[in-house]
Structure formats: structure tokens, C-alpha cells
Amino acid sequence: MKKTILVTSLIVSLLTLVSCGKETIASRATKKGLEIGTAYASDIFDPEGQERIKEFSNILVAENFMKCANLRPNAKFWNWSDIDHSIEFAEKNNIQMKFHTMFWHQQNSSFINNMKSKEEALEIMDNHIITIMDHLKGKIKVYDVVNEMFEEDGSFRKSIWYNLLGEEYIAHALTVASEHNSGAKLYLNEYNNECVGYPKADAMYNFVKSLKEKGVPIDGVGMQLHLSTDLPFDPDAIRANCKRYADIGIEISFSEVDVRLPASKFKDPEEIKKQEYIYTTLLDIALTEPNVKSFIVWGMYDRTSWVPATFGGYGNACIYDVEYNKKPVYEAMFEQLK
């Protein structure tokens, strides 16, 4: 009897050791109930990229594949193949999927940019929502229904949708999406909306609150968080913003996090520490504010990151470097998730 107990406990210890050896950011975050992940591009189709994705992510979002210009290059053709393949990979590896994005002012096909009337816009909008939600039924955890609907001063962005349908287009899109939804969460996503007191952040909060009061179906707000080590970072204002959304029953996604460095300081230890501080402070907010559901990094690694092409003179914004090596920030986040 004693021998059996000894052997059993040896086996259990061995198994624990083996599984500890395999712990990753993804597995630790899953245990903590946090969705963590990355925006993927074609890295999802190469073996090294797949390994890194599995190590880091329990949720994935397409960096570009789901946007209108890619998914629907013209009014008749739907380009599902990249999306379907990535969903297959995700399902096989127990990774959830987020859809980004149904409606935006950028990366639209010309038939969208050329819409002329309210009737035409409504027809295309409804058809877009219904076709996507039917095709992806049961496979998506969160939909970004509308992306970047505000200007910095808090006024509505004059997108093609706004110009033809007025601000009502947002409530309409959420309502139609909820009528065709099968259990996914419906989000609005934005940048520079993370700090209480900033005009765009306050406008978005007030707008979302008014949607809730009117009974428009909305579950969450995405804060993109494209940050820089040489710009002010105010975690208290971010936390306060998450809390006020919690008070009105809205969940939050840190939806496109990246923290860029000025090129002249790529090797500066102080700057690298600053980057680590920003990532880990955001992760701390995500782990301690119950309505913050996900932490998604915008791009798996520095080689394909959108940052250098968008913010001239900046880069090194991701968790993995250009060769897919883990940066110290990976280890810091890994420790934090223990």
C-alpha cells in the first residue's frame, strides 16, 4: 500500500514538473481567467510563428484579414480562405478568436467608399453584418463592430458611415449584430480613449453610457493603447476609466497594445525598462480590474510590426524581437502571471 502511494506521488510530482516546464504566458493567463494574445498576420501560416502564437495567446485577432478591403474586395466576392484557415488553427489549439473589424473609416473597398445614399449604406451594412455572423457562427468570442468612431476633440469622426447615416449608424450596427449574434460580445474599439479626462475618452464613455441607457446592445469597449516610451503614461487615469465602465456594466479589452521606443534608444537600458514598466503596469490593471477581459498585443514580433512604417523613427514595440526572441518584457509578464 505504502509503495503504491509512494509511486503515485512520484508520478504526480513528475507530471507536475513536466507541465510546469511547459508553462507559458498563454497557459498562465488562461489559469487566471485573462484573455491574452496577439494580432496575427501571415505568421499564423509558418511553423515558427505558430509556436510563438501558441506560447503567447489564448485569443487571436487578425491584423488585416478581417477588414473590409481584405474580406470583401468587391460587393460580390467574400475572401474567407485566410480567415477560415486561421480559425482552424485556433480551434485545434484551443485559442479563441476576435473579429476586427466590421466598420471603420480605413481599409475599405471602393464599393464602400463610393456609397451614395442612406438606403444603399443601410443595405450594405446589414448585409455585411449578417454574412459575417452567419459564416462565423459560434466561432468568434468578440466582434469589434465599429472601430475609431471619434475625433480627438470628442466629436464623431466623419466617416463614410457617419456621413450617410449620422451617429445612429453605431446603434444600428450594434442592434443588427445582436439580432444575428450567437453568444459573442459586441464591442466598440478606439485609440486615445484610455485616460479619464481626455476629451475623446470622456466623449466615448458618455456615448457608451447613453447607448446602455437606451437599451442598445453593447458589451464592451476596446482601448487600443498604441503607446510610446517617450510620451506621458498615466496608469491611474487608465484604471479610473476602466472602473467607470465597470460601474455601467461595460467590459474592457486592452485591444491593440504596443509600446514603441525611439530608434536612437533601442539599446538604452533605461528605455527598455520603461517599456517593460508600461507593459507590466497595463497587465497589472488587466489582472486587477475585473471588467478588463483581454490584453492583446498588436503584432507578434518586431519584424512585421506596423509601428516603424506608421511612426517614423520608432520601433521595437512588440514582446518578441525581429528574430522571434523573447524580450525581457516576456519574462516579466510571465512572472507576473504566476
**Interface ranges with ligand XIL (CB under 6 A):** 63-64, 147, 224, 256, 306
Grid cell in block for residue 216: 442598445
Fill in the DSSP letter of residue 244.
H
Range list of H helices, 60-103: 68-71, 81-92
Which single residue brings its beta carbon nearest to ligand XIL? 306
* Beta-bridge partner residues of 36: 295
For the bound state, the minimum distance from the C-beta of residue 321 to ligand XIL, rounded and expressed in Å, comes to 18
User: Between 24 and 316, whose beta carbon lies closer to ligand XIL?
Assistant: 316
Nearer to ligand XIL, 224 or 294 (CB): 224
Q: Whose CA is closest to 193, among 147, 260, 144?
A: 147
Q: What are phi and psi of 143, to 5 degrees?
A: -110, 130
Shortest distance (Å) from residue 226 CB to ligand XIL? 6
Q: What whole-number distance in Å separates Cα of residue 97 and Cα of residue 145? A: 14
Provide the minimum distance between the beta carbon of 75 and ligand XIL in the complex, in angstroms, as a whole number.
22
Helices then strands (H, E): number in the chain? 14, 10
Q: Do residues 298 and 61 lie in contact, with contact meaning Cβ atoms separated by under 8 Å?
A: no
Helix residue spans in the chain (DSSP H): 2-21, 25-32, 47-56, 68-71, 81-92, 110-113, 118-135, 160-165, 168-179, 199-214, 235-247, 269-288, 307-310, 328-336
| Nearest residue (CB) to ligand XIL, 63 versus 251 | 63
Q: Is 323 a known active-site residue?
A: no
Q: State the Cα–Cα distance between residues 51 and 69, nearest whole angstrom.
A: 28
Question: Nearer to ligand XIL by C-beta: 147 or 175?
Answer: 147
148 tagged catalytic? yes
CB closer to ligand XIL out of 64 and 163: 64
Q: Minimal distance in Å, beta carbon 223 to ligand XIL?
A: 11
Query: Of the listed 55, 190, 256, 276, which one is catalytic?
Result: 256
| Shortest Å distance, C-beta 47 to ligand XIL | 22
Continuous H helices in 248-337: 269-288, 307-310, 328-336
Active-site residue (options: 35, 55, 148, 190): 148
Burial class of residue 3 in the structure, from the number of CB atoms within 10 Å of its CB (0-12 exposed, 13-18 middle, 19+ buried): exposed
Tell me which residue of 67, 145, 156 sits closest to 106, measured CA to CA.
Answer: 67
Shortest Å, Cβ 93 to ligand XIL:
23
Hey, what amino acid is at 54? K
Nearer to ligand XIL, 148 or 337 (CB): 148
DSSP 278: H
Please identify every residue annotated as catalytic: 148, 256
